[in-house]
Structure formats: C-alpha cells, structure tokens
Structure 1
Amino acid sequence: MPHSLLAVPPSRGGVVPALLAEGREVTGSHLRELAARLAPPMDAVAAYHFGWIDQHGDPSAGDAGKAVRPALALLSARAAGAAAEVAAPGAVAVELVHNFSLLHDDLMDGDTTRRHRPTAWTVHGPSQAILTGDALLTLAVDVLTRVPEPEIARRATARLSSATRGLIDGQAQDLSFEARVSVGVEECLAMEGRKTGDLLGCSAAIGAVLAGADEPTADRLHTFGHDLGLAFQAVDDLLGIWGAEERTGKPRWSDLRRRKKSLPVAAALERDCPAARRLADLYAEPEPPEGETEDRLAHLAELVEEAGGRSWTEDKARALYRSALGALDGVDMPFGVREEFTAFAAFVIGRDN
C-alpha cells in the first residue's frame, strides 16, 4: 500500500507536470549530445541508463526519470526574473551529477532494477557503470565552465562542486550505516541532508545564480531545495518499504531486503516498545540461507509501522515541506512563480513513485 501524505494542499492543476516536462525538454537534447561524446562503450552505457536504448542497443522509450532537479533549476531562474532557458547549463549539470550518483549507488547498493528495467551495471558490468558515472560527473563540470560570464560560471561551478562533495559524503555515511547495529534519526537526517538535500539545494539555486541573482537570494533558494530534498528523501524512504512495485520500479520492501537503516527504520528502532525490540532483533539476524520470504519482509514492515516509524517519517516530511516553503519568505519573485514553488513542494511529498 502506498504511503499517505495527505495533509498538504494539492498541486495546482497541471503546473508540476508542465514544469517536469519543461525540465526534460530543455535538458534532453543536451544530455544526448554530451553522452554521445563519451568514448565507447561508455556512450552506450549512458544511453542505456538514460532510457534511450535497450540492452541490445535498439532505440527505446524507457523511463528517463522524473527530472525533478532540472525542473527546479529552471524554476529558480524564473524566481530571479529571468527566462527559464538561462538555467539550461545548470539544469543539465545537476541532472548529470544526479545520474552519476545513480550509476554508482545502484552498484554499491546491489540494486538490480531501476525505472522498471535492469540497472546499467547488471547489463554492462560494474566497471563500465563506474567509469560512465565518472564521465558524467566530468561532463557536468565542463558544462558550467563553458558559461560565458566568468564570475557567474565560477559561482555556479562552486555550488555544484560543494553539492557533489556533500552527495559523496552522504553516500559514504549511508554505506557505513550498514555495518552498524543502530543509527539514530538525527544521524540519518544529517546523512540524507548531504546525500539528497545538497544537490536539491544546488538545483534550486543554480538557475538563479546563472540569472545573476545575488548570493542571499541564491542561499534562500538553496535552503528551500535542501529542505525539500530532505522531504523528498523521507518520502523515498517510505516508498522503499511501502511503495507499490508497479509505481516505484523497484521490488516491494526493497529497503528491508537490504536491511537499510532508512528514516522509518531508524525512528522505529529509537522507540522503547516491544515492536522496536523485535525489529532490532530481526534486523541483527543474518539473512536466512533460503533468502528472504515475503512473509518475513511483510512482518518487518508491520513492526516498523507498529513502532511508529512510518507515522514519524510522514510527520517529518510534512514539517520539512513547511520549512522549505518558509525559506522562500523574503525572496522577491515575479507574479505566479511562488505558487509554482508551492505546487512543486506539494508534488514532492505527495508522490507515489
């Protein structure tokens, strides 16, 4: 059953689908052109990962992702009073960094499915997935260094570099959690703030930077994106346990299969109750020789919910949503743009995939 984050205003009409479609449209041709520059077979690995070809190299209409980060970059340019197209280099750069991280994360996490089909490393091998991810990261930096105004290029590149460092730090923390018996919710939030929040924060600011906005304005937009990124990850953690496979493209209870200490699990384990103690015992046990059964995974999900991990995470996502919107106070935006930010935030915590 999908999660239920209902205590937020619904997204306004088709605003968010239009923003996401714009993000895909503005970045699509640039991403294809950049990926085609990569040396073989990395060009094919990138094309497969982005959904443009299938594993046999034939054209494909695969799912290329939601384009949340590019859409935010374009929206942030409008917040600074510029046309969305001004943010195109930033939109492309953040999407390249995001996909660099996905190629590496899928391998490190052992994920075999993404966007309803086999992950790139399972098709092209671990080494090529790593190298392709590295190549996408270098392309992201290259895109921004080509911005014609040197000071704007420097500011945008500095923000992207800082976000990338945070993302990598967060992933390192996330992996270290796997070897630990327990992880507190504050540690989990700090890790997710780096792994997810930093790049969403960069996405929400980089378009404004490219539009020439001052640093205080860019910083407020960054805070909006960072807090929204934490809300986004909280929802992702809910979906990693209770999301419907046909919507998420990942196996049901995928995070529980890996004994991932996500926010709902960390919150549940901090409770002093029988369900939390039983969950801790089961999480500490090695996987049965015959593999995880659906009944065992369902029981783990029930224990997380019984111990309050699900409701705590839903409440936290709502609080982060409100915090993100509060960061926009004091940002002078053209008419209608603030409402687009609000609709976008509501979409992020109300999604089911």
Structure 2
Amino acid sequence: MKFNKDYVLDIAKNLLSIDSPTGYTKGATEFLEKELSSLGYESFRNEKGNLMVSVEGKNNERHRAVLAHVDTLGLMVRSINSDGTLALTNLGGPIIPTLDAEYCRIITRDKKVYTGTILADVPAVHVYPDASTKERKIENMIVRIDEVVKTKEDVEKLGIQNGDIVAIDPKVQITESGFVKSRFLDDKISVSLLMGVLESIKTNKLTIEDKTTFIFSTYEEVGHGAASIPNDINEALAVDMGCIGLDLACTEYDVSICAKDSSGPYDYDMTTNLINLSKDNKLSYAVDIYPYYGSDVSAALRGGNNIKGALIGPGVHASHGMERTHYQAIENAMKLVMLYLQK
C-alpha cells in the first residue's frame, strides 16, 4: 500500500497556511479544487460550499461517503473599541488562553487584509496589576491592529467593520523527525491524508469496492457541516482528529477509532469492521471514547440522513490549541481509509 509522503505533507503545509475559519472557507476549497483537477478528478460544490468528488467502484449500487472538514476555528470582529482596538467573538471553540499574544489577520468584506496581534486587555505587567492573573476569556481579549489607529473612526476608515473575519496565524512547521505541528490540524491534516488517498488511487490505478463520494465540508466546527449529504449514500466515514489525553489510548502515532462521542455511539458493525481491518493488517491503532466531540457523521445523522456512520482519524495532541501529530499517525489513517474503501 503506497502513499506519496511528500505529496501529503506538501498539501498539508499549503492547506494549513490558507486562512479558512468556519464560514470563510472559499480559499481552501478553491485550493483543493485545483489539486483535484490536477489529479484528474472532477469536483463540485453544493450550495453550502461543501466540496465533493465521486470515485466509481466495482459496485455502484451501494454508495459510501468519506468526510473531512476544511473549516477551522477562528474569530470575528464583534465591535470596534474607542481606542482603535477590536473586540472579538469566537468562531467555533478555540482555547482562548492559547490565543494571548498570537498574530492574526483581519480580513475585510472588500478583501483588504491587515495584520495584528491578539492580546488580553491587560497586556503589560508594568501597567496592570492583574496582567498575569486576569482570566483569558473572549470578553477580555482584543486585537491590536498594525496600522496607525487611535480611535474607532480611524479603524472604520481602514474599511474594518463588525463581522469581519479574524484569522489566527497557524504557525505551520513540519520537523525532520516527522512531526506536523500547527493550529488547525483539526481537520486539515485529515483533508490532506484524504488527498493522499485520492492521489494513490489515481497514480496506482487502484479500484475500490463501492462508489464513494469524498466530502470536504465547510461548517463542521459549528455543528452542521455535513447535515445534508446526497440522499443515496448508505454509509459515511468521518475522518477527523483523534483525541489524546486522560484515559484515552490514542497517541500521536496511531489511527484512532472512535466508538462513541458526545452524539452517541457510532455504528457497531462499521466500527467493528474498522477495528478488525486495523488488527488484521497490523496497523498502530486505538479505540477510544471522545466525551466532548462531534463529527460530520454526527451532523449527518442529526440531519435525518438514513446512514450507517463511523469515525476515525490520526492522533492529534492538544486539540483546539497548538496541535501536533506525527506522520506515522497520518500513514496509519491513510492505510485504514484505503482498506475500508477496498473491502
């Protein structure tokens, strides 16, 4: 089972570097469209903006979906403060304390981009007695804009307004030891590994068992990414980050198989099949429960789709903060996806 490591990591580096907070994913989707086209695939978008590409199988009477999401966590301008800083609201659920002192980009409705820094509103220890102790929650965070602005009116003259996107710098790094560390591995690393699967299918002229539609969704972080999928799909496999910590078995080197998350248990037979595929093919894997988690399959089931559903993904450390995984986990996840597609 061959995968192009350089291709997968190159896709990951480029995709992670494209700002795509939930609700503002056009750039990431266009990047994937071009990549899919270069591989020889035709893709299409639904009205929501979810990108889809279908691959014919030996049996086209049964239809599967494999899903990952391109939208990430982010921020939005809530209001403009009188001193020329920005008040914020969050998009999805970033760990707010990790944002203190992070660089960002403010993207206006007329496509101007300004840089800035996210800070607590007590940013200086020489000035504020509670600079080190004040709670870092969204109400206490601001953006300091890298422009000469001293008043609300100065900011408005730049074209910045309430509702503008504030994208957090992902700080992408791929180490020689095989680690990928960046914000938003959830879920761009899964998108990248699915692109690796698609590249392998095309390059190696592989066949898969059932017709399969790969869906790259755009609103997963706010819970409705794949709420509506093509109505002839029989079963769906979400590929999203595997959780690490507390009593969970997963590590940064494993493919994680989720038996249950906050939306309930995943399909018993699908999950058992994924476990057996991993076991029989000697993959490094873990089976876990994710107590604070939902997936695109969760959204599809809540949306009333009559499907079986399961969830897997590469182990990712420090989810919704500064995340990290290893290529071993990525490769194990690609292998399991391919085994699933070919069975």
Q: TM-score range by the shorter chain?
A: under 0.3
Point out the structure with the larger helix share.
Answer: 1
TM-score for both structures, normalised by structure 1? 0.24
Point out the structure with the larger strand share.
Answer: 2
TM-score for both structures, normalised by structure 2? 0.24
